[in-house]
Amino acid sequence: MKGKPLVSIVSAGLSKFGKLEGLYAREIFAEAAKEAFDRCPNLNPKKDIQALFIGHMGESYEHQGHTGATMAEWAGLLHVPATRTEAACASSGAALRAAIYAVLSGLADVVMVGGVEKMTHRSTAEVTEYLAMASDYPFEQWHGITFPGLYALMATAHMHKYGTTEKQLAAVAVKNHYHGSLNPKAHMQKEITPENALSSRVIAWPLKLYDCSLITDGASCLILTKPELAKKYTDTPVHIIGSGQASDTIGLYERESFTSLAAARLAAKKAYEMADVKPENIDVAEVHDCFTIAEIIAYEDLGFCKPGGGGQLAEKGETKLGGRIPVNTSGGLKAKGHPVGATGTGQAYEIFLQLTRQADKRQVKNAEIGLTHNVGGSGATATVHIYRRG
C-alpha cells in the first residue's frame, strides 16, 4: 500500500463560511454540494453516488438530529445510504476515514463525504456550552473548564516547558488572518496586527480573543472514487495516499503530556508510513488551529519542527505563504472559520484547490503533496490525511 493512492478526490465543494443568517444547515450543505457537482460535469450525482458520509457535531444548535438522511435529501441524493459521524471538531475528518473504508471495501465506487454546522444563531454562552460537550463531563465541564480553557491548560504547560510566548501565539493569528484576507470564502477577510491580537480581551488566560477560532456557519464536501475510476470524472484528480486516525482519553487531565497530542502523533505516523513520505516532503498543510497554541502543537506533532520549536517556526514566518512550509493557506479555523462538523473536509477542500492549482492568490507554487490534520475536542480524536497531485 506504500505510496499508492487509496482513493481519489475528483471534486470538492465549500459553502461560504461566515454568519449565514436565516439558513439551516441543510441549506448550507446544499450550497457546498452544488459546487462539487458543478465542478465535475462528468459526474451524474443521482446515478453515480452510492453513499454519503457526513460529519456533524451537535444536535443542540438546530434541535435537529438524524443529519445523514437530512443532508442526503437536501443534496438531491434521496435514498442513498447516508451516515452521520460525530467526533466533535474532527467529525468530518472521521467521515473522510469512513468514506475511505467504504471505497476500499469495494462496497461503493463513488461516495460523497462532507460536513456541516450552523452555529452563529446561538449566543456565545450557548455555543460555549455546546462545544464543551466535546470534553469530559464529570471532571472537566462539571468544574467549569471550558473548551478554550482546555487549550489554555496546554498553552500554560507549553510556555512553562519550552518558553513559548504570547507573541508567538499572536504570530499564528496574524499569519492566518493574512491568509484569510486572500480567501473570498473566509469568514474573516481582514488582516490584523500583533498588537490587535495581544491586546484583545482574555477568554481563558493566556488565550485571548484572537487566539481563538471563530464561531462560524458552513459546509464542505468531497467526491471520492477508486483511483482506477478517477480519470472518468476528471483530468486532475487528487489522490489520498495516507490516512491515519487515533483516539485518546476523553479527559485532558488523564494524559501523559499536556504539550503534545498523542492521537495526532499516532495518526500522523500511520499516514506518513502509508504514504511513504516524510514531514519535509509536505508542500502545504491545513492543520487544526482551533486555538493558536493548537497550531504550534500541530507543527511539533506532525514533525514540521522539533518538540518545543513550534513557537519559533511561526515567529520566523516559515509557515506563511512563501515560507518553507505554508500552513493554513485558507486562513485556517482562525480566519476562514470553524463550523465544527465542516472543518475536516473543509481542510481537504483547500488541499484539493492547492494541488489542482485553483487556489488563486494563495496558491503555493508547484505544490505536489499536501496534508490535513483534524482534531476532535482536546485531542481525544485526531485524523491525518496525505494527498498527492494526480
Residue closer to other proteins by CB (options 168, 220) is 168
CB of 20 to other proteins, least distance (A): 23
CB of 126 to other proteins, least distance (A): 8
Residue closer to other proteins by CB (options 258, 349) is 258
Residue closer to other proteins by CB (options 141, 189) is 141
Residue 305 backbone dihedrals phi, psi, to 5 degrees: -155, 175
Q: Which residues contact 254 (CB under 8 A, 6 or more apart)?
A: none
Write the DSSP string, 149-196.
HHHHHHHHHHHHHH---HHHHHHHHHHHHHHHTT-TT-S------HHH
CB of 25 to other proteins, least distance (A): 23
Classified as helix, coil or strand, 79 is: coil
The residues annotated as belonging to the active site are 89, 338
Nearest 5 degrees, angle CA 109-CA 110-CA 114?
Answer: 140
Residue closer to other proteins by CB (options 26, 255) is 255
Check: CB of residue 192 under 8 Å from CB of residue 177.
Answer: yes
275-287: b (≥16 Cβ within 10 Å) or e: bebeeeebbbbbb
Binding site for other proteins (CB under 8 A): 124-125, 128-129, 132, 138-146, 148-149, 152-157, 160, 201-207, 251-254, 258
Q: Which residues contact 390 (CB under 8 A, 6 or more apart)?
A: 5, 8, 230, 236, 237, 238, 239
Residue closer to other proteins by CB (options 47, 125) is 125
Within 10 angstroms of residue 345's Cβ, the number of other Cβ atoms is 35
Nearest by Cα to 369 from 380, 355, 358, 379: 355
Check: CB of residue 219 under 8 Å from CB of residue 339.
Answer: yes
CB of 17 to other proteins, least distance (A): 22
Residue closer to other proteins by CB (options 150, 275) is 150
Write the DSSP string, 262-307.
HHHHHHHHHHHHHHT--GGG-SEEE---SBHHHHHHHHHHTTSS-T
CB of 148 to other proteins, least distance (A): 7
CB of 169 to other proteins, least distance (A): 13
Residue 26 backbone dihedrals phi, psi, to 5 degrees: -65, -35
